[in-house]
Structure 1
């Protein structure tokens, strides 16, 4: 799987904190909204990135297994990251697919056009299924954020 990013850095074979420090240095030089793909095989990087993103405002978009490591897609914080205020939140942690999508569909049907639903799920298939569902319907996927290991927030807007 190829990850599209503005910058790609490979820190395979390097231990913490080198991958995090390398990512920080690159993201500091990017413009808001630009992306960085950090490739690392260090087992501590994932938790470090989640904590750092929480404090810095940057966004860990995804963590995709790749070869013997993981490709982390990070987005530099920008104005768009501050604007997403959901009108409703649906927490579906512990429910497997298609449950999160079915419940989100029901909730979105009762929402007004333009309103935003924040869907939180730890379903392993959701990362692939929700963007696909959005493309096949009138639901716009505004953003995806990994908020904990394997737990994602999806911001869905009713068209």
Structure 2
């Protein structure tokens, strides 16, 4: 999946990946896709809850070689 922006949360532990995601989403335009790269397994559960509470859309979660790649579309 192609993202408009990428946020590197590699090595950060909860709650920092969600905190940084929220900040980055405030900077991008509605409809844009943010890729979050993280290593904390908790992000997979946390991003679902965060998207449900903010109205943003979780598009995809991929794992490759210890990295978790999450794709979120900013709501309008």
Short-chain TM bin: over 0.9
- The residue number in structure 2 matching 1:136 is none
Tell me how large the CA RMSD over aligned residues is.
0.9
Runs of 4+ residues deviating >6 angstroms: none
Q: Which has the higher contact order (CA 8 A, sep 6+)?
A: 2
- The residue number in structure 2 matching 1:16 is 14
- Bigger CA radius of gyration: 1
**How many residues end up aligned between the 2 structures?**
76
Q: Could you list the runs of 5+ residues in structure 2 that have no partner in the other structure?
A: none
What are the superposed Cα offsets for residues 69-112 of structure 1, whole Å, 9 maximum, x if unpaired?
A: 2100011002xxxxxxxxxxxxxxxxxxxxxxxxxxxxxxxxxx
Q: Could you list the runs of 5+ residues in structure 1 that have no partner in the other structure?
A: 79-159
Measured after TM superposition, the shift of residue 12 of structure 1 is 1.3
Measured after TM superposition, the shift of residue 6 of structure 1 is 0.9
Question: If the length of structure 1 is used for normalisation, what is the TM-score?
Answer: 0.46
- The residue number in structure 1 matching 2:61 is 63
Question: If the length of structure 2 is used for normalisation, what is the TM-score?
Answer: 0.93
